[in-house]
Structure 1
Amino acid sequence: MTSATRAVGVDELRRAWLAVQEGQFLAPRPTDSKAAPRPTEPAVTDAHFWRPGESVLPVVGCLPQAGATSLALAIATHASPARVIECSSPSASGLAGAATAELGTTSSGWIVGRRDQVHLARPSFLRVSAGELPLPDDAATGTVLSVLDVGWQLGQLRATHGWLLATVDAAPQLVLVGTATVPGLRRLEIALTLLDPIRPVVAVRGPDPRRWPPALTAAMGTATRDQHRTGRWVAVPHDKRLALRGIDSAPLPPALVTAARDVLRHVSAAGHPQKGSS
């Protein structure tokens, strides 16, 4: 059996394409009642704003394996009592082995733990984008700082919506974490061009630029050079054990905590003091 078709005009095709571009076209849903149901997840709050009672400092890695999570934890350790909220998907978590005490999963979908005076929170479900993250739970009593381990590059974050983007945009200061490599400097330069130059503090894993080889110095972009020239730069030492084992329940390297202290001093110097920055 054949079915008749009709010719479609150019104007009609153009209208259909515009509808697709504007999101007015929805693919038909399957009508098979025997289709397997999708697993349920905790509902994502549609509020775009998070209003914590403590100070918030976002930490953004400019590229994978830059050390943003370990620096975020070091910042919280120095500023404790504090917490780290890891916002990446569980498949990319750097805090899975960091707690000395696991405290379970909250009703909103966060896995929580603790190490000394630092509380940890990480998502319990895979997220396609940062816009799917549930709002963080209230901090424990006495918490002075929540460090956001953003876990998404700035370009990815700006393609979403939700409380994380709103919080990063509203933060007077944030930390950009990079590496003293040519690819790392390229990513750092791109991230800096997306921000007001007075907002970021740059933390780069590796020696101070004055000790770099000429080829690496030549890779610095204009925004990166300005950041170093104005002193909003912290050199983060490379730790072989941390690079090999990742973050576990062992104490963080003292040199890393010292670098975190320097980051907080820069944040404090910009007029946004945090406990532990003195």
Structure 2
Amino acid sequence: MTIATRAVGVDELRRAWNAVQEGQFLEPRPMDPGAAPRPTGPVVAGDRTWRPRESVLPVVGCLPQAGATSLALAIATHGSPARVIECSSPTASGLVGAATAELGTTSSGWTVGRRGAVHLARLSAHHLSAGELPLPDEAAAGTVLSVLDVGWKLGQMLASHGWLSATVDAAPQVVLVGTATVPGLRRLETTLTLFGPSRPVVAVRGPDPRRWPRELTSAMGPATRSQHRTGRWVAVPHDKRLAVRGIDSAPLPPALVTAARDVLRHVSAAAHPQEERS
């Protein structure tokens, strides 16, 4: 059998890519035998909107390997009883070895586990856009905080139409995770301009900027400098064991949990400015 093909122009490819970015192509697709059930289309507003009972704190990595997942887990550990909802692809998951007890896969398509008073949820299937993600399951009884490990490129996520972009857009505070490198500071500056000055708490892996070499301090943009000047900045220490082994079931480094405590302190101060001044 001969299949006829035709050339595809650049304009048509561009239109198709724009449609992908806007989620216009998301229609029901056949489910593979044995695959976990998931929504048949993009999650939209209305009765499909996520309405958590607990507080929600998004954590956004400004660039790959910034340490967003480990910080999200540390925040949940310090703020427990809590959970981490990891929204990245299963092939990019940093929580595969994090649980001390695996609890299986839910009917909505989340693989769940537990480590102490922290519950973990990571995706069990691949999704083409953040707008496809299934709604998170209801949190376990007593959960006071859900930490969203966003895990998508920020532009892709914000352009999608689903609960994740709506949640990040509505969150009063967002944690932005970067690195004390020139590329990391450039990405941090760009990300800060998308959120404005009042919502982000910045967590940067590396020493405090007062100890940086000149080439790093000169790479700080105006939004980044303002963030440090106003004190909404946490230095996250580099841990060699975590860098080599990744997140496993062992306890997190105490210094990382301390940094997470400082992040939550800044988040709380932003939410209750009168209390902070008193």
TM-score class, shorter-chain normalisation, is 0.7 to 0.9
Decide whether aligned partners of structure 1 residues 194 and 104 sit closer, same or farther in structure 2, where only a CA change above 3 A counts.
same
SS at match of 2:195: coil
Q: Which amino acid aligns with 1:68?
A: A
In 1, the alpha carbon distance for the partners of 2:55 and 2:176 equals 18
* Structure 1 Cα separation of the partners of residues 18 and 136 of structure 2: 32
Q: Which residue of 1 aligns with 2:107?
A: 107
Deviates most, 243-252 or 157-166: 157-166
Q: CA RMSD in A?
A: 2.3
For 1:91 and 1:192, the matched residues in 2 are separated by 28
Pair 1:39 & 2:32 matched:
yes
d(CA) in 2 for partners of 1:127, 1:96 = 18
**Separation of aligned partners in 2, 1:82 and 1:46:** 24
Provide the residue aligned with 1:212 in structure 2. 212
Write the letter of the residue equivalent to 1:116: G
Q: Does the 8 Å CA contact 2:43/2:161 hold for their aligned counterparts?
A: no
Q: Give the letter for the 1:219 counterpart.
A: A
Query: Who is 1:77 aligned against?
Result: 77
SS at match of 1:143: coil
In structure 1, C-alpha distance between the alignment counterparts of 2:17 and 2:92, rounded to whole Å: 32
Q: Partner of 2:176: helix, strand, or coil?
A: strand
Q: Within 5 A, what are the aligned runs for 1:86-105? A: 86-105=86-105
Q: For 1:256, give the aligned amino acid.
A: L
Structure 1 stretches lacking a partner, 5+ long: 1-15, 28-36, 274-278
Q: 1:46–1:253: structure 2 CA closer, same or farther, 3 Å change rule?
A: same
Aligned residues: 246
Between the aligned residues of both structures, percent identity stands at 79
SS in 1 for 2:202: strand
For 1:209 and 1:243, the matched residues in 2 are separated by 21
Instruction: Point out 4+ residue stretches in structure 1 off by more than 6 angstroms.
Output: 19-23
- Structure 1: distance between partners of 2:143 and 2:16: 47
Q: Tell me by how many angstroms 1:152 deviates.
A: 1.1
TM-score by length of 2: 0.84
1:168-179 paired onto structure 2 within 5 Å: 168-179=168-179
Which whole-Å CA distance do the structure 2 matches of 1:173 and 1:159 have between them?
19
Instruction: Note the alpha carbon deviations across 1:114-167, whole angstroms, 9 max, x for none.
Output: 000000000000112111110000000000000000001221212211000000
Secondary structure of the structure 2 residue equivalent to 1:126: coil
> Structure 2 CA distance, aligned partners of 1:126 and 1:59?
20
Change (3 A) 1:21 1:95: closer
Measured at CA, do residues 21 and 175 of structure 1 come closer, stay the same or move farther in structure 2, by a change above 3 Å?
A: closer
Distance 1:119 1:228, change over 3 A: same
Residue 208 of structure 1 and its aligned partner are, at CA, apart by 0.2
Taking the TM superposition and a 5 Å limit, the aligned residue runs for 1:160-175 are 160-175=160-175
Distance 1:22 1:161, change over 3 A: closer
